[in-house]
Structure 1
Amino acid sequence: MTQYLEAKIPVPDDCVIISKIEYEELRKASEKGDTMGLPEFSTRIGRSSRWVTDNVLNNPKFKKILDVQSGGFIHYRENGRDSYVMLRSEALEFIENNFKKIYGR
């Protein structure tokens, strides 16, 4: 026979109890539209910014799918004055889905 223990645990006024599923949905919704720059992207790949720029961002096989001008998720530098800006969620998904292509020759 299953035994049960009942307990009353106080929950502070500034806290709420929600399901894990609801928590994940709220977390994902709060990350929508988050961006990252080249330094974070480089850290995620584990290479220098220069290596990432040369081998990923300016690599023709990737640039055509990455560049926002082609429907991608990265705003490329213009005239050397601007900085790279990318949607964090899509950048992380790109790394996951293309890891072998990024490091493969």
Structure 2
Amino acid sequence: MAQKLHLTVEIPDEYVLITKVEYEELQKLAAKGNSWESLAWFKQETGIKHPDTLKTMILYPYRSELEKFVKYPEKKGSPWRFHKGATLDWLENNFERIARGK
């Protein structure tokens, strides 16, 4: 026969109890942020190590879509800039298309 134990745990006012799902959603929102990131960050997010591969697979084929939140270099040696939140959303929403190469 199973036994039951009932207890009360007091949570101090400076703490909030939330579900794991809510916590994970908050973590995702915090990770996205609204900052501008570098090409090194984009390489890390995609798992593609070589910049030329990134350019031929993602950055140039989808340029018309990405220009809304990716700052392409104006000249050789200028930095790439990625709006973190918008870039992550686009990568998530277009993963299948990128993987297929279309």
TM-score, normalisation: structure 2 = 0.66
Per-residue deviation, 1:4: 7.1
Percent identity over the alignment is: 18
Per-residue deviation, 1:57: 1.0
- Structure 2's unaligned 5+ residue stretches are none
Report the counterpart of residue 64 of structure 1 in structure 2. Answer: 64
TM-score, normalisation: structure 1 = 0.64
* Partner SS state of residue 83, structure 1: coil
- 1:88 and 1:36 mapped to 2: Cα distance? 6
- Structure 1's unaligned 5+ residue stretches are none
1:1-105 aligned at under 5 Å gives the runs 5-9=6-10, 11=12, 15-20=14-19, 21=22, 24=25, 28=29, 31-47=32-48, 48-59=50-61, 62-67=62-67, 72-105=68-101
Aligned AA (1:44): E
Runs of 4+ in 1 over 4 A off after TM superposition: 20-27
- 1:55 and 1:90 mapped to 2: Cα distance? 18
- 1:103 and 1:22 mapped to 2: Cα distance? 29
Q: Which of 87-96 and 32-41 deviates more?
A: 32-41
Per-residue deviation, 1:65: 0.9
- Residue pair 2:71, 2:80 contacting (<8 A) in 1 also: yes
Higher relative contact order (CA 8 A, sep 6+): 2
